[in-house]
């Protein structure tokens, strides 16, 4: 059961990444500053991710409480992603792209566990 959820979570995460990148490009093309473009596209992707994860991965209805918990977990995951990326690139000497790959993987694992054990328990 957990493996099935993890596999479905990979798909929802991929969808969220696609939404994030697509919205980022669109908002940036409108002339919105880089930081605001990155933040707004991430927030839109987080909303999509929560909606799809709720229904597809955990088979639960959307609620404000779970959405808030999901966003808190996602923000912690974002922090983990950035910290791992910076440490591996700046301290270990990995290429930024390789470091980002590990940052995403670490945050993905954290976010799945947070959602499994806390948000959708």
Per-residue pLDDT of 88-112, as tens digits, reads: 999 999 998 899 889 989 999 999 9
Residue 38: what pLDDT? Answer: 87
pLDDT confidence of residue 35: 84
Rounded to whole angstroms, the Cα distance separating 101 from 23 reads: 20
Token pair 């990326």: residue:
85
Q: Give pLDDT, residue 97.
A: 87
Q: Mean of the pLDDT values across residues 37-59? A: 94
Q: Specify the pTM.
A: 0.84
d(CA 34, CA 29): 10
């Amino acid at each position: 059961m957990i493996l099935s959820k993890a596999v479905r979570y990979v798909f929802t995460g991929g969808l969220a990444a696609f939404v994030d990148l697509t919205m980022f490009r669109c908002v940036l093309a409108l002339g919105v500053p880089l930081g605001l473009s990155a933040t707004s596209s991430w927030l839109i992707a987080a909303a999509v991710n929560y909606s799809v994860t709720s229904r597809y991965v955990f088979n639960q209805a959307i609620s404000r409480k779970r959405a808030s918990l999901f966003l808190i977990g996602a923000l912690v995951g974002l922090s983990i992603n950035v910290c791992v990326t910076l440490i591996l690139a700046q301290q270990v000497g990995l290429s930024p792209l390789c470091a980002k790959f590990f940052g995403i993987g670490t945050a993905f694992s954290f976010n799945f566990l947070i959602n499994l054990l806390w948000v959708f328990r």
